[in-house]
Amino acid sequence: MIRSKLPNVGKSIFTVMTEMANKYNAINLSQGFPDFNPSSELINLVSKYMNEGHNQYAPTQGILRLREKISAKTEELYGQNYNPETEITITAGATQAIFIAITTFVQEGDEVIIFEPAYDSYAPVIKENGGKPVYLSTKLPDYKIDWEELNKMVNARTRMIIINSPHNPSGSLLTADGVEKLIKLVTGTKILIVSDEVYEHIIFDDNKHESLAKYPSLRNRSIIVSSFGKTYHATGWKIGYCIAPENVMAEIRKIHQFNVFSVNTPMQNAIADYIDNKEAYLNLSKFYQERRDLFLSMLEGSGFKFTPTKGTYFQLLDYSEISHEKDVDFANRLVSEYGIATIPASAFYHDNFDAKVLRLCFAKSTETLEKATKILKTVKA
């Protein structure tokens, strides 16, 4: 007899909506990936290292040259030095980094606080490891953390807090004031923080990314996760990394070596070269802000309401003036009747909270956005 560790978990909403997009030949604005290629220079570098014979296992912690480049980049951007030998590990994407961070430290009965709406991998991994997800809903319409409520939730069983900024799906940002409140909250405790910063380079309107790497008082308790896939338009490559203090990373690597052991060797070498092209990540905010602004300008006159996202390449759309349908039903109808695939926001809540909101990805070509918005402006009840 098979006994499921996650009996209430089925296909992720991203898989479901992408399958529906394929079924109905719809424009896929659901899953978070670009419909354009990475830089040809980066692709050519991968080929170069393949042809030069870099096709066998990399060290389990990642090739040293790439870790050294990450260390230098982190210090330049955030003023904090991380030892490439002992405090940086290359992972098979950010989701794997989050998985090993939770798996390494969460044990039976531990509580982990996550903020909803939340990326859908957090809670299942917590449960798989015998932990208890503790959910705190952020305050609409700005999706801000209620720090007073958070203070009430922390107790002796609180093992970890998961922060995500820029935030998927809302695009909200952790502010410097929020970081100071977080510091005050965890000081004197044994709470670890997983900081999911995969959209660190996609921030709009002159806002700044408050990486926890900037704050020495959080350094010894924070596991910071990032993604080359998001930064370099290569989500299918599944290359990410995590940084953490040496004693924390030593434990993470114990799990990592038995999870994937190591990560794609030619791609690591290629990224180690390409990361020297600073403009590729420093100009990313400008690149995606232009797409956000184009997308929203073309939505003017539609029945959807929105507040421009502050970060990520996702935009939430409020459809309450169009329909009173539940968001899952409305999203399904958009695919089957209009040929547009989106993500219902209730998928990011453990209790399927229905706010009449959809998440759309605008990391798409101008042609795709033009086609999609033309259709969205025709949507009716």
1 is a domain residue:
no
Measure the CA angle with vertex 272, ends 271 and 276; round to 5°.
95
Residue from 379, 299, 298 nearest 339 by CA = 379
333 is a domain residue:
yes
Domain end point (choices 215, 249, 280): 280
Q: Do 228 and 120 reside in the same domain of the chain?
A: yes
Cα dihedral 94, 87, 163, 128, rounded to 10, equals 60
- Count CB neighbours of 32 within 10 A: 21
How far is residue 5's CA from residue 49's CA, in Å, rounded to a whole number?
Answer: 40
Q: What is the CATH number of the domain that holds 252?
A: 3.40.640.10
pTM beyond 0.85, yes or no = yes
How remote is the C-alpha of 245 from its chain's centroid? Answer: 22
7 is a domain residue:
no
3 is a domain residue:
no
- Count CB neighbours of 103 within 10 A: 18
Q: Residue 67 has which token pair?
A: 């870790």
Q: Do 273 and 360 reside in the same domain of the chain?
A: no
Domain end point (choices 259, 280, 301): 280
5 is a domain residue:
no
**The residue to which tokens 């990032």 are assigned:** 226
Q: Do 324 and 340 reside in the same domain of the chain?
A: yes
How far is residue 337's CA from residue 322's CA, in Å, rounded to a whole number?
Answer: 15
Q: Do 135 and 249 reside in the same domain of the chain?
A: yes
Q: Do 222 and 188 reside in the same domain of the chain?
A: yes
Q: Using DSSP, state whether 194 is helix, strand or coil.
A: strand
Q: Do 202 and 324 reside in the same domain of the chain?
A: no
Provide the domain count of the chain.
Answer: 2
Q: Do 331 and 183 reside in the same domain of the chain?
A: no
Q: Do 237 and 291 reside in the same domain of the chain?
A: no
Q: How many residues does the chain have?
A: 381
How far is residue 354's CA from residue 148's CA, in Å, rounded to a whole number?
Answer: 24
How far is residue 266's CA from residue 272's CA, in Å, rounded to a whole number?
Answer: 10
Pairing of strands 158-164, 192-196: parallel
Q: Do 260 and 366 reside in the same domain of the chain?
A: no
Domain end point (choices 231, 253, 280): 280
8 is a domain residue:
no
CA atoms within 13 A on the CB side of 262: 15
pLDDT tens for the 381 residues of the chain, in order: 788 888 888 888 888 889 999 999 999 999 899 999 999 999 999 999 999 999 999 999 999 999 999 999 999 999 999 999 999 999 999 999 999 999 999 999 999 999 999 999 999 999 999 999 999 999 988 999 999 999 999 999 999 999 999 999 999 999 999 999 999 999 999 999 999 999 999 999 999 999 999 999 999 999 999 999 999 999 999 999 999 999 999 999 999 999 999 999 999 999 999 999 999 999 999 999 999 999 999 999 999 999 999 999 999 999 999 999 999 999 999 999 999 999 999 999 999 888 899 999 999 999 999 999 999 999 987
* 112 contacts 159 by C-beta, under 8 angstroms: yes
* 49 contacts 66 by C-beta, under 8 angstroms: no
Cα dihedral 361, 363, 366, 371, rounded to 10, equals -20
Quote the domain boundaries for residue 306.
13-31+283-376
How far is residue 230's CA from residue 70's CA, in Å, rounded to a whole number?
Answer: 15
Q: What is the CATH number of the domain that holds 351?
A: 3.90.1150.10
149 is a domain residue:
yes
How buried is 4 (Cβ within 10 angstroms: 0-12 exposed, 13-18 middle, 19+ buried)?
A: exposed
381 is a domain residue:
no
Pairing of strands 240-243, 88-91: antiparallel
